[in-house]
Amino acid sequence: MKKVLFIALMVTSLFVKAEDYDRILAVVNGEILTLSDMNQYKARLKSQKLADDLFKVNPETLLKNKKLLIDHLIDQKIVDSEVSRLGLEIGPERVEHEINKIAEGLGITRDDLMKRLKTDGIDFSEYRNFIKSRVERQSLIQREITSKIRISDDELKSFYAKKASGSNVDAFEYNLSHILLQVKDSEDKAKERAENVYSKIQKGLNFSEAASQYSEDPNFSSGGFLGVFKSGEFLPAFENAVKNLDEGGTAKPIKVGSNFIILKVNKKQIVESPQFLAQKERIRSYLTQEAFKKQFQFWLVQKRSDSDIRIN
């Protein structure tokens, strides 16, 4: 009799433990979130494997706070229910295609990938489900959020101006021509020749004609064309000579090395500074990420209010 009672108690105990393990924590749009689901996710957080990069979470914080963890899992259920509602689920062939792409990107075969996952203690079927979920969620987020984010040039410039104190967002771009007079016999004679040419230009001689007649540049090009330069990208002596000139203006001769140079501004326009251009895409990426965080949280709040959520 005692033996029968002991066995009965053991069976009851096992049943209670199994029931407790599969206890329902929440129901989200008809989808059940169980204690076993939470425990499996906690195991992933602890191992830091198969982390979904859509949800930027701090594993330690979630592991310490059950309420936050359940809320996080509910958010995942909401995202997945939207995937289903919008018909964005993918089939086995697409999943296999994505896995093959991952292996190719790593420079290994599919079999090697499977071996690597096994070494890391990751079941391949679990990995397949993870890839399926990730691709579906990315498709949803691209459609609902990412595709709607627009970062204007004004926002980029405003951010740069605030962060890069003392740096200009805009710069001048100069299209320049030049006449070069070499110092041959003496510097004074070369300077005199340069001033004489400059005087003739001021009196009406066409700069292009003057360049053809008087330039001593061994690499002379038609009209004395020198090039197109942005502020900060060419010789300071050149920039100082032309920065206060309007289009069509000619600068007084300046000495550069062993030469005297006469510069003409063919065209002058405002463009984005080289310093700003060097950081423009990095700033765009940062602002896009920040905008995504805000829009994603706003989207989740909206979807939570529209969802049928019951927490036990």
**SS3 category, 280:** helix
Q: How far apart are CA 73 and CA 33, in angstroms?
A: 8
306, two tokens: 């529209």
Q: pLDDT band for 16, please (50, 70, 90 cuts).
A: very low
Q: Please give the pLDDT value at position 171.
A: 86
Examine the pLDDT at 15 and tell me if it is beyond 80.
no
- Which residue has tokens 């830091």? 48
Q: Please give the pLDDT value at position 163.
A: 83
Q: Is the full-model pTM beyond 0.85?
A: no
Residue 275 CB partners (closer than 8 Å, separation 6+): 164, 167, 168, 232
Residue 211 CB partners (closer than 8 Å, separation 6+): 177, 178, 179, 220, 223, 224
Angle, helices 124-144 vs 66-85, to 10°: value is 70
**Cβ neighbour number for residue 242 with a 10 Å cutoff:** 21
Terminal CA-CA length for the chain: 40
